[in-house]
Structure 1
Amino acid sequence: MKTFIFKLTLVLYSLSFNEAIDVRYDGFPTENPQNWGYVDVREGAHMFWWMHFTKANVNNFTERPLILWLQGGPGSSSTGYGNFEILGPIDLAEQTRNFTWVNTHNVLFVDNPVGTGFSYVDDMRYLTTDNKQIAKDLVSLLKGVYNVLPEFKNVPLHIFGESYGGKMAIEFAYELNLEIQQGTIESNLVGVYLGDAWTSPIDYTLSWAPYLLNLGFIDVDGFQKINNMAQRTERVLKQGQYTLATDLWYMTEVILEEEARAIDFYNVQYDIPYRGEISEKAKILGSITPRDSAYELMVNYRRLENSLYDSPVPLSLNTMMRTRVHPALNLTNEVIFGSQQGAVFDTLAGDFMKPVVNVVEKVLNETSVNVVVYNGQLDLICSTPGTVEWINRMNWYGRENYASAPRTGISVNENLEGYLRKFGKFSMYWLNRAGHMAPRDNPRITSIMMRETTNFATVF
């Protein structure tokens, strides 16, 4: 088995950046300088960031936009999942990723909320409990990054959030815009992107039964069982029992998995081992704390890693981050990658099922920030029907014009890759042949989206 080793080489640039580091892997150089560090976003809370400077042929990195990437969960690591499994320069199989966004953009991965990935808290009381606090921490994080890399203050900033990261991203964009207007931070915020985002949790939960019935994964009896639990979740949510709604959301997933006899929540077409009748698994899951089980299902529900690559991966993501990345980046020994992630999910259980559609409306109605929503057609956990449902209910100035705008097809090399409807500052992209991790599943359509919204994109 090939040994996975990080080699550090110091590379100095004539820019006024701090030292940029060229991280090289055994036989697979990333070919782009990097920087990373911690920001103490408040007392007892230490947030980790990792910047990949673009590989584009430019005189100055600041000639290309800055993408800030937020992962979901809550509790999934951006520097881990987002970087190595979705769009960073190296994948988990130790191969150079040819469609990495670093080819054309500067990409800033952030382990958020605190307690996620390499980010950590000195005591569990410093973990975040709601989305607004998460957003304020992210504004503090960005201030710290700008202190290290001041040249990026005027670089166009595009905030991307996947899954629960999208829920965090929209609140972050709103809070950041407020501070820009107040003059407490200098930043060129251009757009916020909600990718298969947990924007309206109940709309997604209610969409699961009809979505799977139409695709043939369940029958009418299964539909009734899943839908009944989803409606029960909706009832307690409307009553303001938010933590109970999170527990019932989890039970909806358990019933769904049993009725479908196993399915990948992130892409319904991914191969997944058939485990037969899994009621015993449901009994086991139901015997332990529901939110702990929900976390395992939401964050660590993984198809076989080998199915994603041409050859077996040498290390799991957690092992690689703990035994290779941690020492290579010379990080503090006070943190173990992902060791606090379960607690992150649990402390947000009361906020997990709350929607942020109202925040999307505020960003559209009160700011000049562009809002881009994109969804993979094969995603189950944040299904396209659920996304369309909350978009159609939004109360914003362009609602009627958006509803009557044409839905245009998007082609790449004469192949239909998706659809777009937009009006003013709001765009919705339907992504064909893509699931929850859309940039990895279909880089062609996401490349077009990047070109249209940031003016730069990898060419295929």
Structure 2
Amino acid sequence: MGRCALVAVLGILCWKGLCSSLNGGEDWGYVQVRPGAHMFWWLYYADSGSAQNQDLPLVMWLQGGPGGSGSGFGNFEEIGPLDRDLKPRRSTWVQAAHVLFVDNPVGTGFSYSEDIDGFATNVSTVASDMMELLRNFFNERSEFQDIPFYIFSESYGGKMAAVISMELTKAVAQGTIRCSFAGVALGDSWISPIDSVMTWGPYLYSTSLLDDYGLTDVSAAAEDVRRAVEQQQFQKATELWSVAETVVEQNTNGVNFYNILTQDPEQKLTSNPGENFISLQTRRHIHRLHGRSLSELMNGPIRKKLGIIPHNVTWGGQAEQVFSSMAGDFMRPVVDVVDQLLAAGVNVTVYNGQLDLIVDTIGQELWVKRLKWAGLPAFNKLRWTPLDDPTSPGLTGAFFKAYKNFSFYWILKAGHMIPSDQGPMALQMLKMITQQD
């Protein structure tokens, strides 16, 4: 898709068509992963002032939702070279890696489906689509085949990343994809949804955001979700999850699920009469990733810069259909997949923000402690190690511990979107995971 010309858009100079070079710049394109199903990717080549770029890893970033756009939110709000105002980001991950954003699943961001049958309904299809994209990417860009490749993720992106990583491990072993897969990092990830839901009440109560009555209400709503999950009624569980979130909001005066210390009156939601839960949850979770200013940027100057977006495709325009199509799979756990990854020797990292509610840390710790991984007893015996805040030496920014091919990072003063809340700490974590620090 590249055009070998120097173009200036939005005051940014970028090289197109640098498929044979690792020396800075960017590239983007589409891959048809199934008939009528098209996935968009955007690559930033590393721009390091202290290392040879060929020595730096390739990192793929997967956003949550499902339906949240990595090319938009992950790029301009979290780890890309520019922020939403198109100003340089000091903590961009491009300092330490080549960064690949993929709008995943089909229909997310600039990715699109030509018809309703093209949307994925489960993570197995999501993984199959990603295998097609990665097969194409590494075949077309052979310079990345021998560079360590990591998958980093956030929220529901972590659930997808776990399954994608397992399928990629198989594909590499079978020789159908040639790359140097080095590990997966699961950030505030929806690995065991019910463990998150069941710990909302205790977490909010312990932080003085629920009183006794509120704790009773939230716990009762969570129990309804748990029963549906135990009965394998996952579509119903997703609907009841939506109800439980409404109960949380009513009892906390609109707590921010993504950072309990940051309450934005404009983000408070009220259910519209007759509104179905899909529409409500899209407003509650997807629209916040597609805020008006970001949407205007992506559908305006960025769309013009990219130059390949079909005229009938709107950034984020199919997000609700993406979420709706995955609703029956949403509450299914993938803890067993994490166990499979660990047993296969894949490097797995879990990282979580202290102030995140929707995927709270105590819920993450619950499913980790139930892993069947042989190294878990030894991991549990370890004490964590404090990490200094990179911007404030002497002050603790995180804790971590690692044993063999598993590690866990507890990121302080961060919510669900860790790179947004604690960018320098997230960058340091990236370097540690990719063995640069």
Q: Indicate whether 1:356 and 2:343 are aligned.
A: no
Give the Å deviation of 1:444: 3.3
Give the Å deviation of 1:170: 0.7
Give the Å deviation of 1:10: 6.2
Say which is worse superposed, 339-348 or 447-456, in terms of deviation. Answer: 447-456
Letter in 2 for 1:232: D
Partner of 2:280: 293
Give the Å deviation of 1:16: 2.4
Partner of 2:25: 33
What is the CA–CA distance in structure 2 between the aligned matches of 1:453 and 1:10, rounded to whole Å?
29
Say which is worse superposed, 241-250 or 87-96, in terms of deviation. Answer: 87-96
Partner of 2:425: 445
Instruction: Return the match for 2:254 from 256, 262, 282.
Output: 262
What is the CA–CA distance in structure 1 between the aligned matches of 2:335 and 2:228, rounded to whole Å?
19
Say which is worse superposed, 331-340 or 67-76, in terms of deviation. Answer: 331-340
SS at match of 2:282: helix
Give the Å deviation of 1:301: 3.9
What is the CA–CA distance in structure 2 between the aligned matches of 1:59 and 1:165, rounded to whole Å?
29
Instruction: Return the match for 1:319 from 284, 296, 299.
Output: 296
Does the C-alpha gap of structure 1 residues 364 and 7 become closer, same or farther in structure 2, counting only changes over 3 Å? same
What is the CA–CA distance in structure 2 between the aligned matches of 1:247 and 1:101, rounded to whole Å?
36
Partner of 2:396: 416
- After superposition, the C-alpha distances for 1:372-399 in whole angstroms (9 at most, x for unaligned) are 0000000011100110011011111112
- After superposition, the C-alpha distances for 1:74-110 in whole angstroms (9 at most, x for unaligned) are 0000000000001111111232111100112110000
Q: Indicate whether 1:273 and 2:265 are aligned.
A: yes
Identity level (%): 37
SS at match of 2:145: helix
Instruction: Return the match for 1:427 from 372, 394, 407.
Output: 407
Say which is worse superposed, 393-402 or 108-117, in terms of deviation. Answer: 393-402
SS at match of 1:154: coil
Letter in 1 for 2:355: L
What is the CA–CA distance in structure 2 between the aligned matches of 1:421 and 1:389, rounded to whole Å?
16
Letter in 1 for 2:20: S
Give the Å deviation of 1:15: 7.0
SS at match of 1:316: helix
What is the CA–CA distance in structure 1 between the aligned matches of 2:18 and 2:208, rounded to whole Å?
59
Partner of 1:115: 107
Partner of 1:16: 20
Say which is worse superposed, 406-415 or 391-400, in terms of deviation. Answer: 406-415
Partner of 1:24: none
Q: CA RMSD in A?
A: 2.2
Letter in 1 for 2:402: K
Instruction: Return the match for 2:69 from 69, 77, 83.
Output: 77
What is the CA–CA distance in structure 2 between the aligned matches of 1:255 and 1:70, rounded to whole Å?
29
What is the CA–CA distance in structure 2 between the aligned matches of 1:55 and 1:118, rounded to whole Å?
25
SS at match of 1:455: coil
Does the C-alpha gap of structure 1 residues 380 and 144 become closer, same or farther in structure 2, counting only changes over 3 Å? same
Alignment: residue pair count: 426
SS at match of 2:430: helix
Give the Å deviation of 1:151: 0.4
1:385-404 equivalences in 2 (<5 Å): 385-404=362-381
Determine if contact 2:19/2:141 at 8 Å carries over to the other structure.
no
Q: Indicate whether 1:160 and 2:152 are aligned.
A: yes
Say which is worse superposed, 410-419 or 193-202, in terms of deviation. Answer: 410-419
What is the CA–CA distance in structure 2 between the aligned matches of 1:234 and 1:384, rounded to whole Å?
18
Partner of 1:338: 316
Determine if contact 1:7/1:328 at 8 Å carries over to the other structure.
no
Partner of 1:310: none
Give the Å deviation of 1:290: 1.1
Partner of 1:209: 201
- After superposition, the C-alpha distances for 1:300-320 in whole angstroms (9 at most, x for unaligned) are 2479x8xxxxxxxxx611111
Say which is worse superposed, 286-295 or 330-339, in terms of deviation. Answer: 286-295
What is the CA–CA distance in structure 2 between the aligned matches of 1:251 and 1:262, rounded to whole Å?
14
- For structure 1, the 5+ residue unaligned runs are 21-31, 306-314
Partner of 1:191: 183
Give the Å deviation of 1:17: 4.8
SS at match of 1:375: strand
Does the C-alpha gap of structure 1 residues 13 and 328 become closer, same or farther in structure 2, counting only changes over 3 Å? closer
What is the CA–CA distance in structure 1 between the aligned matches of 2:279 and 2:323, rounded to whole Å?
8
Q: Indicate whether 1:130 and 2:130 are aligned.
A: no
